[in-house]
Amino acid sequence: MDKAQISGILDEVGTLLELKGENPFKSRAFHNAARLLSGITEDITVLVESGDIRKIKGIGESTAKIISDLVLTGKSPDHESLKKGFPPGIFDMMKIQGMGPKKVAFLYKKMKISSVDGLEKAAKAGKLEKLEGFGKKTEENILLGIEQLRKYSSKFHINVAEQASQAIFEVVKSHTGTIRAEIAGSLRRRKETIGDIDIVVSAKPKDVKAIMKSFVDHPSVERVTGEGETKSSVVLQSGINCDLRVVDDAEFPFALNYFTGSKEHNVRIRSLARDHGWTLNEYAFTALEAGRKGPKAKKIPVCRTEADIYKAVGLSYVEPELREDTGEIEAAASGKLPNLVTYNDIRGTFHCHTNYSDGHNTLAEMAVGAQKLGWEYLGIADHSKIAAYANGLSEERVKKQHKEIDTLNDSFNDFRLFEGTEVDILTNGDLDFSDKVLSTFDYVVASVHSNFKLSEADMTKRILKALKNKHVTILGHLTGRLLLERDGYPLNQTEIINAAADLGKIIEINAHPMRLDLDWRMVRYAISKGVMIAINPDSHVVSGLTDVRYGVGIARKGWCEKKDILNTRTTKQIESYLKR
């Protein structure tokens, strides 16, 4: 049983305890353990067998036992016996907005309702409103929630959420009463998928009402789901929930920090505040009441920005992209936060197509576009011959393209086009060009574009074989596990990363903005193994060039140091790397 499955079961145990009405801290301990487990990169079996699993802070006796049982036998008696109390459909019921453990457990006990369908039936028949603690409104909300769940059961890709937020955010931000405004939440943290959009605004009390009105009246709003004095919630036409929170300007950094999250990160920051003798909420630091345990409260510093808040609790400023409680607190406390990559660090990209294959722009246009972005180089990697759907290049056309690139390069002073290819990895692991042809390129990106339906073992074998070809520089768009439901493919990522480490190859992780869901654990694992990686970003946004669609570059900050990213290197360094 793998890490993800075990983590899922720990989460389930936590939820089952909630349903049973157990001590909330108890259930949280299991959810916590689930999260911790999904974040580790070590081999879970090794951790269990060595007993080191107990060394992870937050994994105690009970959680360790469940993990060990699952690793060693594939089953956990504790989990099994808990499950007996509740049918599986219960978990789906918990996904409905407004349905928490108390209501779900109550309905199950009182009405024997154990599925979303059963709940819908009961609500439609008006059976719920008569129940204690329920009413007409609750019943209506449950039906709405079910509808919502079916329509938008998944999260939204960041590019969808970003687009959906733009217009309404602009209106709120440019309101005359608005002092400061920021998008918060997972969108600010640049997660690959977004649950809802959070907007935080500061304003004088007299302006709050008008700002709220501009928000709920916005044309992109489909439905208003909540409207209070400081907070309003709407569903946008795109189906994404959007919350607006308006606070006093002095409270703004606290609110921004709070609503940016993540929840786990916030919990840690609040603990640190308590260590200083304060409590922290979304408005301010407040001194703990006298007589409470803990050190004597220190004087509370004035905080005008988020950086001031971090400084107050003894941390250096933590970038939103890092706020997941995956080591950033410790790093910030000891001054060891990574020097993050930003858009400005990109010197060029390597996975770019032109109108030779399925791109839209000519070589010359691409070169001009890259220079406009201040880049030093651009790697051209059009498709190989077998990619008929993408107008892949024959050997003759490769020669023609090289000639054209050479001519263009002669005309540049501080810029260079690299001659690359994105060669197809055939089903048997061979490459679509002969070694002789491959040797004529500056670099080679090898990618899988066909026959996705292989077994994990066969796909892994296929890719490993291609990776071993001495001409291959970069393994193209290795997909994350999360893509599987769409057009990703199964493969043993660990094995491939290990091989890349041995062979000194670069891995391009992830693919395309429209099917983007980066697995950062994989990224961290690759970095831990010393594999040079290139993150394939949503480069539509980065470049403004229609054709740098597949830019191998870092388009967002992440838990990566600049030194880890190929694209931050200068042309000279790149040249020497490619010639190795």
Q: Is 281 in the site for DNA (CB under 7 A)?
A: yes
Q: Which is nearer to DNA, 132 or 410 (CB)?
A: 132
- Count of residues of this chain found to bind DNA when the rule CB under 7 A is applied: 63
Nearer to DNA, 25 or 580 (CB): 25
Give the span between the Cα atoms of 321 and 554, in whole angstroms. Answer: 13
Structure tokens at 289: 């009441």
Q: Does 137 bind DNA (CB under 7 A)?
A: yes
Which window, 161-169, 171-179, 225-233, 391-399, contacts DNA (CB under 7 A)? 225-233
206 binds DNA (CB under 7 A): no
Beta pairing partners, 133: none
Tell me the two tokens of residue 557: 């900050």
State the amino acid at position 233 in one-letter form.
S
User: Could you give the CA distance from residue 221 to residue 231 in angstroms, rounded to a whole number?
Assistant: 15
Read off the tokens for 302.
């004035």
Q: Which is nearer to DNA, 23 or 576 (CB)?
A: 23
Helices assigned H by DSSP within 74-200: 77-83, 89-93, 101-111, 116-124, 136-151, 158-173, 185-188
38 binds DNA (CB under 7 A): no
* Segment near DNA (CB under 7 A); pick from 271-279, 360-368, 444-452, 502-510: 271-279
If the CB atoms of residues 278 and 350 are measured against DNA, the closer one turns out to be: 278
Told to check if 325 binds DNA by CB under 7 A, we report no
Quick check: 201 binds DNA (CB under 7 A)? no
The token pair that represents 264 in the structure block: 């786990």
Of the candidate residues 59, 467, 511, 527, the single one contacting DNA (CB under 7 A): 59
Question: Residue 97 interacts with DNA (CB under 7 A)?
Answer: yes
Q: Does 429 bind DNA (CB under 7 A)?
A: no
Q: Of the listed pieces 255-263, 379-387, 480-488, 522-530, which binds DNA according to CB under 7 A?
A: 255-263
**CB distance 240 to 161 below 8 Å:** yes
270 is an interface residue for DNA by CB under 7 A = yes
Q: Work out which of 5, 46, 52, 58 binds DNA, going by CB under 7 A.
A: 58
Q: DSSP of 314-363, one letter per residue?
A: T-PPPPGGG-SSSSHHHHHHTT----B--GGG----S-B--TTTT-SS-H
Q: Is 289 in the site for DNA (CB under 7 A)?
A: no
**Position among 74, 133, 219, 291 found at the interface with DNA (CB under 7 A):** 133
Only one of the segments 166-174, 257-265, 376-384, 393-401 lies at the binding site for DNA (rule: CB under 7 A); that segment is 257-265
User: Is the CB of residue 306 less than 8 Å from the CB of residue 323?
Assistant: no
Residue 269 contacts residue 197 (beta carbons within 8 Å): no
Q: How far apart are CA 568 and CA 565, in angstroms?
A: 6
The number of residues in the chain equals 580
Fill in the DSSP letter of residue 282: S
Of 53, 90, 99, 527, the residue at the interface with DNA (CB under 7 A) is: 99
242 binds DNA (CB under 7 A): no
113 binds DNA (CB under 7 A): no
Shortest separation between residue 234's beta carbon and DNA, angstroms: 11
Phi and psi based region of residue 155 (left: phi greater than 0; alpha: psi -120 to 50; beta: remaining) = beta
* DSSP state for residue 193 in the 8-state scheme: E
**What is d(CA 260, CA 53) in angstroms, rounded to the nearest whole number?**
31
Q: In the complex, what is the shortest distance from the CB of residue 339 to DNA, in angstroms, rounded to a whole number?
A: 29
Exactly one of 85, 88, 98, 374 binds DNA (CB under 7 A); which one? 98
Contact 128, 122 (CB under 8 A): yes
**Which listed residue (64, 341, 437, 534) binds DNA by CB under 7 A?**
64
Q: Please list the alpha-helical segments (H only) found in 444-519.
A: 456-467, 493-503
For residues 461 to 500, the per-residue mask of contacts with DNA, x marking binding by CB under 7 A and - elsewhere, is ----------------------------------------
Of 195, 202, 295, 217, nearest to 252 (Cα)?
A: 202
Closest separation in Å from C-beta 60 to DNA: 2
Closest approach, Cβ 358 to DNA, in A, equals 39
CB of 332 to DNA, least distance (A): 18
The residue from 141, 469, 543, 567 that contacts DNA (CB under 7 A) is 141
Interface with DNA, residue 239, by CB under 7 A: no
Residue 192 Cβ vs DNA, minimum distance, rounded to whole Å: 18
Return the structure tokens found at 402. 């090289």
Beta pairing partners, 553: none
Orientation of helix 158-173 relative to helix 205-216, angle to 10°: 130
CB 391 within 8 A of CB 516: no
Select from 58-66, 69-77, 112-120, 508-516 the region that touches DNA (CB under 7 A): 58-66
Closest by Cα among 443, 444, 526, 445 to 480: 526
Q: Which residues bind DNA (CB under 7 A)?
A: 23, 25-26, 28-30, 33, 56-64, 96-104, 129, 132-139, 141, 185, 195-196, 198, 226-231, 241, 243, 259, 261, 263, 266-267, 270-271, 274, 279-283, 293-295
